[in-house]
Amino acid sequence: MKFTNLPHTNIKVSKICLGTMTWGRQNTESEGHEQLDYAFNEGINFIDTAELYPVPATPETSGRTSEIIGTWLKKTGNRDKVVIASKVIGRTSDYVAHIRTTGFSPLSIQDAIVKELKRLQTDYIDLYQLHWPERLTNTFGKLDYKHDPNDTWQDNFNEVLHELDKHIKAGKIRYVGLSNEKAWGAMRYLEEHKMNNLPRMITIQNAYSLLNRTFEGDLAEVSIREGIGLLAYSTLAFGMLTGKYTNGTADSNSRLNRFPQLKRYSGERTRKATEKYVQLAKDYNISPAQMALAFVNQQPFLTSNIIGATNLKQLKENIDSVHINLSEALLSEINTIHQTTPNPAP
């Protein structure tokens, strides 16, 4: 395994982070424990979860993923050997109203942390992230920002950091990060940190893959110059980049077959681009999944690549991508495809 540091800390984390959002719906508790055992034995020490998980979220399952991690921690006694990242839900919508409806208010953050610590059966969370912005902005598949004059959100960056600071000082969380954030929001949090001696956002967990390289715009520069490491998610685009949906080999439990309402990676442009990437991987005698993941692993702004799997065969293939270095010739051909079909699945 290869390791990096969480920016501005001495915490070493594996370059591959174990994603968990299928546990509790697509995967049982025993399967989650099996994945944790395998990943841990392969050198992975970084685990990502959220109070929302598993996804798609339902009132019956929300929080179940973290409970599965919690029972594994209790069973193995590995808490001091792993780094755990979790998240608090952002702006309220019907999709998450069953969790709470009060956004990033102080009481919301307090409630979220207390409940997540109980689910995880731990006294602290290493990295606590804001799952998505409260303001209306272009997240989750929206490419361009369109200002909504009816957005009632009020600038509360300072208040949010003050509340997070309380929990850092109380020892309940160690560091804080962002997720699904944009360049303006990231810089506003940094401004509050610098001006008011408040906690620094050290990571940003955003979608990044061969099909969605929008991070390479303004956020890549913010990441490198300000030291906010990318925790890349959806790096296989819900499994699309494995080629199994374009070649018809995806089974009934695969994500897009089981949840057809998840359309972010199902468009025609996405399929055409995927076919080109899959053929390119074959030309270089690399599995499409490992080529896609290795591309992410080699980015200069990456702190860790969050991989997910529903079985051990997938998990092994995904973890092994850390040992692959893509040649300059292959990277050049990847960029040629990107130029002809840029960001088909933002």
Identify the CA nearest to 277 among candidates 287, 266, 267, 264.
287
Q: Is 150 exposed, middle or buried (0-12, 13-18, 19+ CB in 10 A)?
A: exposed
- In three-state form (DSSP H/G/I as H, E/B as E, the rest C), the secondary structure along 6-46 is CCCCCCEEECEEEECCCECCCECHHHHHHHHHHHHHCCCCE
Task: Give, in order, the Cα–Cα distances in Å from 98 to each of 59, 61, 102, 172.
Answer: 6, 11, 11, 24
Active site residue 53: yes
Which residue in 38, 53, 128, 277 is the catalytic one? 53
- The span from the CA of 34 to the CA of 109, in Å, is 31
Helix axes 157-169, 106-120, angle to 10 degrees: 40
β-pair type (12-14, 3-5): antiparallel
Q: Give the Cα separation of 79 and 346 in Å (integer).
A: 35
d(C-alpha 51, C-alpha 116), whole Å: 6
CA angle, corner 129, sides to 58 and 12, nearest 5?
Answer: 120
Query: What are the backbone angles phi and psi of residue 83, rounded to the nearest 5°?
Result: -110, 125
Report how far residue 163's alpha carbon sits from residue 143's, in angstroms, rounded to the nearest whole number.
31
Dihedral pair phi/psi, residue 320, rounded to 5°: -65, -15
3-state secondary structure of 85: strand
Query: What are the DSSP calls for 113-163, one per residue?
Result: HHHHHHHHT-S-EEEEEE-S-SS--S-SS--S----TT------HHHHHHH
In DSSP terms, 207 is beta-bridged to: 233
Enzyme catalytic residues: 53
